[in-house]
């Protein structure tokens, strides 16, 4: 079968840790063909179908020049592929949303797209947790500086973060003294123009912000605890956190088994649920990662489980 990846530029991949790369490698190992493009390469014209300017690639096994392009770029309909795998990293901005609309049109024309474009739009990664309030800690979403101040007065130690951030970007902790709460709020809410998520600080972060992967509605048996280092409050690997793979605990499994089937039924084949202590903090659906860290430390092949699920879905 032939698969198309819609992703960031291949030249930007850090293949030693990139989950999209190991998806590609597993597909090629099974004899499938690979093509790649970026969201900017998608196009549609009246009277036609959604197409993309693609390049066919082969993985070389060389860590420096890890892929080679076969032939020239060509423009092809998305519906010709066995599946289209949407793996563009955030930001979840207007261009990302426009890409999901084009991908949804491709679905109407017969393309198979994972994760489902409508489900990507319907599950922004910070706000998706609101639906599952039974699994989250004290949380506030608002533009209102007075409400943020009130929330801080109630909970004393809080985390503030933008709704469109990734990799720990723009996350602030304000302790009981309230130092810089006003200026942080102004920075994040842009003087009331932009919504902010505020959550009670969870001290269990010292044991890690645990990434729980769910594939086809079923949890991967190991999670990756991303543990903050030094004085850092963020466990994100992109912010210097240390990734430690460990078996799912009872609470992580309970969360994954509760949310997984619901999200899978909506077309979310791959989900990354972030858990601190007993609480869900985010639900990642755009391009969940941590495949390689889990495989390297435990031997469990997450990419193989993912490709199994894709093949079953087809």
Query: Does the annotation mark 204 as catalytic?
Result: no
In contact, 125 and 286? CB cutoff 8 Å? yes
Of all helices (H) and strands (E), which one includes residue 225? strand 222-227
Going by C-alpha positions, the residue among 290, 298, 294, 293 that lies closest to residue 274 is: 290
Query: Does the annotation mark 161 as catalytic?
Result: yes
Burial class (CB in 10 A: 0-12, 13-18, 19+), 53: middle
Going by C-alpha positions, the residue among 194, 248, 270 that lies closest to residue 23 is: 270
Catalytic residue among 115, 189, 236, 284: 284
- Listing DSSP states for 255-295 in one string gives HHHHHHHHHHHTT-SEEEEEEETTEEEEEE-SS---HHHHH
Catalytic residue among 76, 161, 200, 295: 161
Which tokens in the block code for residue 218? 């079923």
- Listing DSSP states for 127-191 in one string gives GGGGGGGGG--SEEEES-HHHHHHHHHHHSSEEEEETT--TTTT-EEE-TT-TTHHHHHHHHHTT
Query: Does the annotation mark 126 as catalytic?
Result: yes
Angle in degrees, CA 29, 35, 38, rounded to 5: 130
Query: Does the annotation mark 226 as catalytic?
Result: yes
Catalytic residue among 125, 282, 293, 295: 282
Catalytic residue among 226, 236, 293, 295: 226
In contact, 66 and 21? CB cutoff 8 Å? yes
Catalytic residue among 211, 236, 293, 295: 211
Burial class (CB in 10 A: 0-12, 13-18, 19+), 259: buried
Catalytic residue among 76, 116, 210, 234: 234
Note the Cα 244 to chain centre separation in Å.
Answer: 19
Active-site residues: which are they?
A: 126, 161, 211, 226, 234, 274, 282, 284
């Amino acid at each position: 079968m032939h698969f198309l990846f819609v992703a960031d530029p291949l030249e930007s991949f850090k293949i030693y840790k990139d989950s999209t790369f190991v998806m590609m490698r597993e597909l090629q190992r099974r004899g499938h063909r690979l093509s790649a493009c970026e969201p900017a390469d998608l196009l549609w014209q009246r009277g036609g179908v959604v197409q993309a300017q693609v390049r066919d690639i082969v993985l070389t096994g060389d860590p420096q020049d890890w892929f080679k392009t076969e032939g020239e770029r060509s423009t092809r309909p998305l519906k010709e592929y066995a599946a289209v795998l949407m793996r563009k990293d955030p930001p979840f901005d207007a261009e990302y949303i426009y890409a999901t609309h084009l991908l949804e049109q491709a679905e109407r024309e017969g393309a198979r797209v994972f994760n489902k474009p409508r489900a990507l739009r319907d599950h922004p990664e910070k706000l998706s947790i609101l639906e599952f309030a039974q699994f989250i800690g004290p949380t506030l979403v608002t533009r209102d500086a007075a409400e943020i101040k009130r929330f801080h007065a109630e909970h004393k130690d809080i985390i503030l973060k933008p709704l469109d951030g990734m990799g720990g970007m723009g996350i602030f902790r304000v302790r009981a003294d309230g130092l810089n709460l006003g200026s942080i709020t102004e920075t994040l809410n842009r003087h009331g123009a932009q919504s902010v998520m505020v959550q009670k600080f969870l001290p269990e972060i010292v044991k890690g912000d645990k990434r729980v992967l769910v594939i086809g509605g079923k949890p991967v048996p190991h999670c990756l605890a991303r543990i903050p280092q030094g004085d850092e409050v963020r466990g994100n690997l992109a912010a210097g956190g240390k990734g430690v793979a460990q078996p799912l605990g009872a609470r992580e499994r309970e969360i994954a088994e509760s949310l997984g089937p619901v999200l899978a039924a909506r077309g979310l084949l791959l989900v990354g649920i972030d858990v601190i202590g007993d609480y869900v903090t985010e639900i990642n659906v755009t391009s969940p990662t941590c495949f390689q860290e889990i495989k390297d430390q435990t031997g469990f092949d997450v990419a193989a489980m993912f490709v199994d699920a894709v093949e079953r879905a087809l």
